[in-house]
Chain A
Amino acid sequence: MTALLEVKNLSKSFGDLKAVADLSFQVNAGEIWGFIGPNGAGKTTTMRICSTLDLPDHGDVLLEGESIIEHPSHAHSRIGFMPDAIGVYADTTIEEYLDFFARAAKLRGPERSARIRSVMEFTELTNLRDRMMGSLSKGMSQRLCLAKTLLHNPDLLILDEPASGLDPRARVEFRELIRALADQGKGVLISSHILSELSETCDGVVVLERGRLVREGLVSSLSTDLSEHQLLFIRSLKGEEALQMALAESPGVVKTRPEADGFMVEFDGSDEDISRLLTFLVSKDLQLVEFHWHQVDLEEMFLSFTDGALQ
């Protein structure tokens, strides 16, 4: 199967600064991939190259096998890029703004009107159609930018920090919009510093640092990379000492570390072994109040994979 987006050995320098170095990854149709890394890691540069706004020094970007470096104009109709900072035409209404980009995308007559109506409904902007862009809040502007990005019905969405500046409710709604788009079969590459957002939305992540690929893969497989054992969180009312002693006697416990009034336990064993561990701890009358699997989230992965160095 040909990947929707394939980045191959991409490199880009600005003077002496190596913004992106030999970066490769893929995004398939219907998947959401997070693009994470510290400031200056090369995320925006990569996204700009993928949307034909910049050229790489080396490497290529393929959209279903066709190079967007060689055929940028072919890619425009298939890629929707939402930059981190949306530009506004202050003297233009929302509908006029969308009408302009719909015209630019060569949508004509009734098809154009229908498409504009459709994206306004999707992004809940219908009631604001006559509002001047200059008077929009940050959240509304982000919605408008997404609406503009979706106008030509692109196969691939590249979203650079789309949720920054949104209030919590808007973030949840935005997340749902993105999921809905992926369910329609669109590929999504999304960068964000709000990793909790990404962890709930993304199928996979690409972790960058100083322009280099640190890790990439499905979220589930990356958490396995982080720890080869299962992680369990256990809290007891009997105190840390008693719990630690009991854990030391338990088979399958590889490592323990205190964390938030309890213990994070690295456990090597099957589900039956976990069940036996729970039975054992209960039998010790430790007054357990918490016993659950710990899912490694993106923040932990990010902190673990990167050293926080800036460039």
Chain B
Amino acid sequence: MKMLAKFGDRLNPILVKEVRQAVRGKFFRFSFLCMLGMAFIVATLLLTTQNARSEDLVNDSGTIFYLGMSIVLAAAGMVLVPLQANRSMASERDDNTFDALLISGLRPAQIIQGKWLAAGMLMLLFVSTLAPFLVVGHTLFGLDLLVSLMLVVFTIAFSMTLSLVAIFLACSFKNRALQSLALAFLALVCVGMVAWWSGGMMVVLFQPFVSINSGDLLVTAATVFIGLNLLHLWGYGLAIETITHREENGLLRVRVACLLASIYGTGLVILFWHLWRDPDVVTIGTVVNYALCTGLNIPTLTESDHLGVRCRNQITQGKWRRFGSWLFLPGGTTGSALYLMQMAILSLPLLIPGNSWLGMFGHSTNSISSNGLYAAISALVVFVPIALFPSMIASRASTGFVLRSVMRATIPATIPILALLTGVFGLIFGLHSMANFESGLNPIYVIGRNYNRVREAGGLIGWGFLAALALFAQFVFIAGYRSRLKKLRRQQLSGAAPVSAPVPPAVPTPEPTDLD
């Protein structure tokens, strides 16, 4: 019991509050009953019509049964749970409780974590509602357990992603009208996700279209999970930033996520090249990574430069440590430096021999690789100035909120234009005949050709290994950085000044007044 009480004490206070409130709330009761009702109706319909089916259909009835249940689960997980998460965060502002949260002693990260975990708890409750129906599907119709579990886990993961987006939207818009607009947009996205997800499940469940074995499925799942994990880290960092005190380093997590994403993307490109020796993959992968990296870095590039000056002064220990830390400190200038570093990392695959400058001069490679190289380099040349120029304007201390927002919007808006430009470059430098339809610059061709290769078990296992490595590196990196910040905090609390920190001018002792 003591252990249980201790565990209860350690729980995130927001999680405890949210679960208490949610279980009492009308929204949860209503949606829970609706879920049960829908699951019951779907199950009854499928079971009662089973005898009327032909033999072939009876064999597929487990899949159909499962699909029906999964759509109900997806509707709950991708619509109800994110909307509940959004309302839960937005109501803190509407009900005037947000300020109390901010000064309650909870860190902004704890607030977001609590809201997010509460969404996860809600999702688990919904899954537990459907669990008996899924067990029936498995025992009566012999549905593959691994596939069923995998799809449930994926539904939960997507639900959590959407909930995070929902929380971020609620944090970002203080104005009620904008919040309603964001909510409507979110609902649209959620419904779209359900439709897409249901369609996706059909592909997996109706195996004649895609033959994928359990091992492949596991590896694919692991890889997607790592990608989702990085996206989560990025979105989570961004959500926290919206409610963090401006003097603190709110975008630190976003910066770490961006760096990890660039390492992850580079690793994937190198792995693909290693498996298939195809320069197209390197080119397309690199250009796509440039675009993704630019998009992910928008918040850090356009952050106001004067933020966290004190924070910067505090992390100044040691020459190399100082340099390493500097990249993760607030401000658009440091954001730009980190961005350039990431772009350099993403350009590493261009050094692969089959795709190198040597290839351009016709040595040991074909013309596609040199076209690709031109495209990738031209993309790099154009992406970087377009990303950095708005950031220079946005990160000035004098730039207002509106201009900063416009500059933030400018960067993603230029990405499709730049993609077109790189295509034009490619055409100029090589796609001058129909024979080059099978070019690395033709995304339809590349996706189509690589799709079949992805299904090869060896490739997927390698991909998964790399993904696991990226995850491990992420944990090591975060743990290292966290311990460094903790050490600094301890020093701060004990009053020891950082070794090379500039010494602040002495605060003059106030003159004694009649109050003293």
Residues of chain A touching chain B, judged by Cβ–Cβ distance below 8 Å, are: 1, 3, 6, 26, 28, 31, 48, 51-53, 55, 65, 69-74, 76-77, 79, 81, 83, 85-92, 96, 100-101, 103-106, 108-109, 112, 148, 152, 204, 217-218, 221
Contacts and interface: CB of A to CB of B under 8 A. Distances in A.
B487 interface: no
A65 B20 contact: no
Interface string B96-116: 111111111111000000000
Contacts of B11: 103
A152 B11 CA distance: 18
Contacts of A92: 17, 20-21
29 contacts: A6-B510, A26-B515, A28-B515, A51-B103, A55-B246, A55-B247, A71-B492, A72-B247, A73-B107, A73-B245, A73-B248, A74-B493, A87-B100, A88-B97, A89-B21, A91-B24, A96-B20, A100-B16, A101-B104, A103-B9, A104-B105, A105-B104, A106-B105, A108-B9, A109-B6, A112-B9, A204-B515, A218-B514, A221-B514
A65 B20 CA distance: 40
A76 B103 contact: yes
Contacts of A31: 515
B385 interface: no
A205 to B, nearest CB: 12
Given A1-B516, A65-B507, A85-B96, A79 B103 contact: yes
B513 interface: yes
Contacts of B246: 55
Interface in B470-514: 492-493, 507, 510, 512-514
B13 A100 contact: yes
A235 to B, nearest CB: 35
B310 interface: yes
Contacts of A217: 514
Nearest to A72: B245
Contacts of A152: 105
A105 B21 contact: no
Interface of B: 5-6, 9, 11, 13, 16-17, 20-21, 24-25, 92, 95-107, 245-248, 310, 492-493, 507, 510, 512-516
Which 6 pairs, one residue from A and one from B, show the smallest C-beta to C-beta distance?
A: A87-B96, A87-B97, A103-B13, A104-B104, A91-B24, A100-B17
A17 B461 CA distance: 62
Contacts of A148: 100
B331 to A, nearest CB: 16
Given A96-B20, A218-B515, A221-B514, A83 B99 contact: yes
B260 to A, nearest CB: 26
Given A3-B510, A70-B247, A100-B17, A28 B516 contact: yes
B105 A72 contact: no
Contacts of A100: 13, 16-17
A89 B493 CA distance: 35
A108 B105 CA distance: 14
Given A1-B512, A70-B247, 20 more contacts: A53-B103, A55-B245, A76-B103, A77-B105, A79-B103, A81-B99, A83-B96, A88-B95, A89-B17, A89-B95, A90-B95, A91-B20, A92-B17, A104-B13, A105-B104, A109-B9, A152-B105, A218-B514, A218-B515, A221-B514
Q: Count chain B CB atoms within 10 A of each CB in A70, A81, A83, A148 and give the residue with the most.
A: A70
A1 B514 CA distance: 12
Nearest to B25: A91
Contact of B104 (A70, A76, A91): A76
Nearest to B509: A2
Contacts, number: 99
A26 B105 contact: no
Contacts of B104: 76, 101, 104-105
Q: Count chain A CB atoms within 10 A of each CB in B245, B512, B514 and give the residue with the most.
A: B245
A65 B507 CA distance: 9
B21 A69 contact: no
Contacts of B17: 89, 92, 96, 100
Contacts of B310: 70
A115 to B, nearest CB: 13
A111 to B, nearest CB: 10
Contacts of B105: 76-77, 104-106, 152
Q: Count chain B CB atoms within 10 A of each CB in A31, A51, A81, A91 and give the residue with the most.
A: A91
Contact of A52 (B9, B95, B103): B103
A109 B5 contact: yes
A74 B107 CA distance: 11
Contact of A26 (B21, B493, B507, B510): B510
A100 B9 CA distance: 11
A26 B103 contact: no
Contact of B513 (A26, A52, A55, A72): A26
A103 B510 CA distance: 37
A79 B5 CA distance: 29
B251 to A, nearest CB: 17
Given A1-B516, A91-B24, A81 B97 contact: no
A79 B104 CA distance: 10
B220 to A, nearest CB: 40
Contacts of A70: 247, 310
A48 to B, nearest CB: 8
Nearest to A101: B104
A83 B104 CA distance: 13
Contacts of A85: 96
Contacts of B97: 87-89
Contacts of A88: 95, 97
Contacts of B21: 89, 91-92
A218 B513 CA distance: 11
Nearest to A217: B514
A72 B102 CA distance: 10
B293 to A, nearest CB: 31
Contacts of A1: 512, 516
Contact of B98 (A72, A74, A76, A87): A87
